[in-house]
Amino acid sequence: MKKALHEENLFLDQHGQLIGWGTNDVKNVLKSANEAIVNEEIRRRGTYKQVADMVSYEWLERIVKEGISKAIIADLNKPISHIEYRRALMLGTDGQPYWRQVAVENEDLKHPQLRAIYVLSHLLAMGALKGLKRCQVDDCKKFFIGPENKKWCSKKCGSLYRVREKRKKTTTKFY
């Protein structure tokens, strides 16, 4: 049995084969950026994955701070504007065919910085990064996707934050 493609978002590899995009890609980008938060050494030099992690981190940090703006879109477009695209006829979830623009894999997309920027751009275009946030626990600061009112990446961080806030209040009462 063939594995189904994630959702309907695709691009072509160097052999012209369609490769899927989907929710796992969002998880992978967030995981990549969060690994860069933990590993400060990669700011100087690193492996292909570490460079991609750092680029993902820097762009997600900027998106969280500035929001999605014309400036961010322009800056994302600059390094990838020369990428060649093809059209592929796709079948939507509603059973109707539609045209999808898909990138052709080339040497440029093998560069970790350009690949990370392309992936982030694609995910932004899909709307997959709506609700992007940073954890409000100072020693965590991981990226996550969540509803508007969510402040922490996990229950553990939420509990830690509340305990710290309570301790601040109780220690200030004694002085």
Q: Is residue 83 very low, low, confident or very high in pLDDT (cuts 50, 70, 90)?
A: confident
Cα 66 from Cα 85, distance rounded (Å): 29
**Backbone Cα Rg of the chain:** 19
Residue with tokens 């940090």: 61
Encoded amino acid at 23, one letter: T
Query: Is residue 142 within 8 Å of residue 37, measured between CB atoms?
Result: yes
Residue with tokens 């009462």: 173
Q: pTM for the complete prediction?
A: 0.71
Task: Tell me: pLDDT of 160 over 60.
Answer: yes
Q: Is residue 74 very low, low, confident or very high in pLDDT (cuts 50, 70, 90)?
A: very high
Quick one: residue 45, left, alpha or beta (phi over 0 = left, psi -120 to 50 = alpha)? Answer: beta
* Portion of the chain with pLDDT greater than 90, in percent: 26
Cα 74 from Cα 172, distance rounded (Å): 48
Mean pLDDT, residues 74-89: 87
Task: Tell me: pLDDT of 64 over 60.
Answer: yes
Task: Tell me: pLDDT of 16 over 70.
Answer: no
Cα 124 from Cα 14, distance rounded (Å): 23
**Token pair of 165, please?**
């806030």
Question: What per-residue confidence (pLDDT) applies to 10?
Answer: 43
Task: Tell me: pLDDT of 18 over 70.
Answer: no
